[in-house]
Amino acid sequence: MSRSMLVAAVVVMGTLGAPLPAGAEYNPGVQSRYDALGNVVEGPGAVHYSSASAPNYTPIAREIVSFDGSYAPGTVVVKTAERRLYLVLGDGKALRYGIGVGRPGFAWAGQHTVTRKAEWPGWTPPPEMRRRQPHLPAYMAGGPENPLGARAMYIGSTYYRIHGSNEPWTIGQAVSSGCFRMTNDDVTDLYERVKVGARVVVIN
């Protein structure tokens, strides 16, 4: 290894404060490195938390806000650029939640419906994700360690979901493989309000 490469490696390690997680994935298209849950740990969009600092994140409070748009009550509107999800209440109001969104190269837009809901869902990583990260399990049972968290709402016939998270400090970040993550408290609240068949509108 050349001296310049060695210096660069030391700088990266110093920035992260620890070796990259086992199974970290490198995406040369956006020059970022991701851990097994899709969190950006190096490069654009990286968010660095140690086990000591993670509990000190500032939660994004859900709140009722003014909302313009010709959406029927019960519609879920995701504004990716804002990293916010809106549940339309009607009368010019919506309930706004903080969310985590797709990392660079994984953001998307479109309209679908909620086709299924699940409490403490199991997780079956899609084939594309397992090809990128072959160390992932074929299936993970639901529970506190599951990256889908306490609740999941499945979007159309896609692999995408609105789901909880066991890493609430990543909410408000662009870290996922296209799903929308929420705190377990917020996703449980939304789960009780949203019905199967509800319209989901995703805007970049």
- Looking at CATH, the fold of the domain delimited by 56-203 is given as L,D-transpeptidase catalytic domain-like (2.40.440)
pLDDT of residue 55: 57
Beta-strand ranges (E) seen in the chain are 25-27, 32-34, 40-42, 63-66, 76-79, 84-90, 93-98, 101-102, 110-119, 151-155, 161-163, 174-176, 180-181, 199-203
Half-sphere exposure of residue 16: CA atoms within 13 angstroms, side-chain side: 18
**Would you state the pLDDT for residue 27?**
40
pLDDT of residue 137: 84
Residue 71 pLDDT: 96
| φ, ψ at 110 (rounded to 5°) | 160, -175
Encoded amino acid at 142, one letter: G
Report the phi/psi class of residue 20: left, alpha or beta, with left for phi > 0 and alpha for psi in -120 to 50.
Answer: beta
Q: What is the pLDDT of residue 17?
A: 33
Within 13 Å and on the Cβ side, how many CA atoms surround 135?
8
Per-residue pLDDT of the chain (204 residues; tens, 9 = 90+): 444 333 333 333 333 333 333 333 334 344 444 444 455 544 545 444 444 445 567 889 999 999 998 999 999 999 999 999 999 999 999 999 999 999 988 999 999 999 999 999 998 888 888 888 888 888 889 998 898 999 999 999 998 999 999 889 899 999 898 999 999 999 999 999 999 999 999 998
CB 66 within 8 A of CB 93: yes
CA distance readout (Å), 103 to 29, 46, 93, 142, 149: 12, 10, 29, 24, 19
pLDDT for position 174: 93
Give the residue extent of every domain in the chain: 3-52, 56-203
Identify whether the C-beta of residue 102 lies closer than 8 Å to the C-beta of residue 113: no
Q: What angle do CA 105, 176, 50 make, to 5 degrees?
A: 120
**Catalytic residue positions?**
163, 179
pLDDT for the residue 66: 97
- Within 10 angstroms of residue 115's Cβ, the number of other Cβ atoms is 15
Give residue 152's identity as a one-letter amino acid code.
Answer: A
What does DSSP assign to residue 140?
B
- Spatial CA neighbour of 109 closest among 118, 101, 100: 101
Task: Report which of 66, 121, 62, 105 is spatially closest to residue 89, judged by C-alpha positions.
Answer: 66
